[in-house]
A and B are shown apart, each in its own frame.
Chain A
């Protein structure tokens, strides 16, 4: 899946987690803008992992701060 298709899929997956309906751009941060707690992060990561059939380890998650970085990482992880 290329970056555009990956971005489209992630946009779909993030919808139910974006309870405050914040407008998400590539620069949106998970901790700062979306104010997600660790449980929400875990459920969202699990949703992405299950859909793309990938592992995003905690080590990799530590490098992902923004929505754009997540799309990059998932695009790359699909190999």
Chain B
């Protein structure tokens, strides 16, 4: 018998070797108690959270929590059904109304996760004979959406406008074209030159989908994302987003002005063949989205945090993913996985949680310590974080 698991042997061995060094397992952390959006007790220690994507700190917002509790009382713990059968409750419609208002768009469709939103929309709209032109550093959910559909998939070098244009030019005459971009790329925290890319995509007759998962709530005057910030949101055909970052719960969505968009509810399999989000989740999401419309002060404070941390770490001698802070993600580049894991553990012992990211999730085989800031981090916490990085970096020999 061939053991179907033998294909995982290299990864099993890599993990074994890493943990044999005595390092705490970076992929088995337990949050035992969560005190606030920025502090939790994990693995027995009180820890500052700097790797949660909880950009706007909505997880403990009193209005958000109250709406969730009320929904549990009013609608029960779950819908036990698909959106197209018994799974559409008042809360799902509230959520979609809030999204339409948030983005100023005609249609909104809520999925059970952000992953499913990309999976469903991409695999459904790009069919056999169509072409998907996408950035090579796209999120796994975008790649999986491509793999699930029947379109021809053509990647181009990360954020390379010319490489994108060359590929658009070579698509056979008459074929449907979908360009897939992200506002913020989550590994390095860099943003895309959306304005120029979307202009070129439109010139070549392509429809454009932009994943704004890491920018919603924070980037742009109204927190609509990088496309809003660059003044090109009106040219985006489909915006994909998530509730699991700035919104502070779980779920995904697509908003669009396409006049036929509603048909997606019948043809998009990851929407149809799964249970809808629980009532408490959609009510917390709807409340949070509405509050995010008026969160200008929090956005300003989050930018301050991002700038302070970026400058602080750079001044201490760390190598960062971007030369300037472009989002609420600051990626600290590690020399290799071994020292990256050691640094991750040293930070945890200091009382700081960040994400350890490694290949294949990262570009160019890099090991990263990815920091995501929160609007609820105080200026003092950010200074504390910089001090923790300095001590851990010196202990591990990275700076």
Residues of A in contact with B (beta carbons under 8 Å apart): 37-39, 42-43, 46, 49-50, 53-55, 57-60
Contact = CB atoms under 8 A, between A and B. Distances in A.
Contacts of A54: 170
Contacts of A60: 152
A55 B156 CA distance: 11
B153 A58 contact: yes
Nearest to B171: A55
A39 B131 contact: no
Chain B: interface size category: 10 to 19
Given A39-B363, A46-B163, A58-B152, 9 more contacts: A39-B364, A39-B365, A42-B157, A49-B170, A50-B166, A55-B131, A55-B152, A58-B155, A59-B152
A55 B360 CA distance: 25
A57 B163 contact: no
Interface in B138-157: 146, 152-157
Contacts of B156: 46
A6 to B, nearest CB: 17
B391 interface: no
B167 interface: yes
B158 to A, nearest CB: 10
Contacts of B365: 37, 39
A39 B154 CA distance: 14
B145 to A, nearest CB: 13
Nearest to A55: B170
Contacts of B136: 42
Contacts of B364: 39
A46 B146 contact: no
B155 A55 contact: no
Contacts of A46: 156-157, 163
Q: Which 4 A-B pairs have the closest CB atoms?
A: A57-B152, A58-B153, A55-B170, A57-B154
Contact of A55 (B154, B157, B363): B154
Nearest to A38: B360
Nearest to B169: A53
Nearest to A52: B170
Nearest to B163: A46
Contacts of A38: 360
B205 to A, nearest CB: 16
Interface string B336-375: 0000000000000000000000001001110000000000
Interface in B152-203: 152-157, 163, 166-167, 170-171
A53 B169 CA distance: 9
Contacts of B166: 49-50
A42 B155 contact: yes
Contacts of B163: 46
Nearest to B162: A50
A58 B154 contact: yes
Given A37-B365, A39-B364, A53 B152 contact: no
A54 B166 CA distance: 10
A37 B359 CA distance: 11
A50 B170 CA distance: 10
Contacts of B154: 55, 57-58
A70 to B, nearest CB: 17
A43 B152 CA distance: 19
Given A37-B365, A39-B365, A55 B167 contact: yes
A53 B170 contact: yes
Interface string B41-74: 0000000000000000000000000000000000
